Amino acid sequence: MAKVIFGNHSAVRVPRTEKDRIRRFYRDVLGCEITRENDQKDDFRMGDNFYIAFLYENEGVALDESRFLKAIYLELKTDNVEEMRQKIVAFGVKVLEVPDPHLYFQAPGGQVLRLVGINEDLSKYEGTEHGEQFVGRAFE
């Protein structure tokens, strides 16, 4: 039977007005490294191997149902992606159409999860020189 664990990538939508405070807090207070920064999104590395992306939104933009689905996402890693994908979809979760090869779905309770392989190379999501594709594109 396939097993899952939480992965080391996460993303959060936040008000653009908080960008400077977010950068100062995560960089200066917590000691995180900013691996990529721009007006739309910042990527931080926390410790050796946890990455969090902050996706900046204009203030006053209400989160309707479709945007609420995009407010935060967590990553699930599994040792058998296809088996777990089938079990998740068969359960009847809401599958999200995302321009990314991974399964994105809304779990009971509203959390959006991305299913990836335990040994999969996900460096393109880390804001490093390994690639420029990033999770933010999934939420545009």
Q: How high does pLDDT run on average in the chain?
A: 82
For residue 118 the two structure tokens come to 């335990």
**Model's pTM, two decimal places?**
0.68
Provide mean pLDDT across the span 26-30.
Answer: 89
Pairing of strands 41-46, 50-57: antiparallel
CATH number of the domain that residue 91 is part of: 3.10.180.10
Dihedral through CA 61, CA 102, CA 52, CA 69, nearest 10?
30
Number of domains comprising the chain: 1
| 69 close to 105: Cβ distance less than 8 angstroms | no
Domain with 53, as residue range(s), is 4-137
pLDDT band at 133 (very low <50, low <70, confident <90, very high): very low
| Predicted pLDDT at 138 | 46
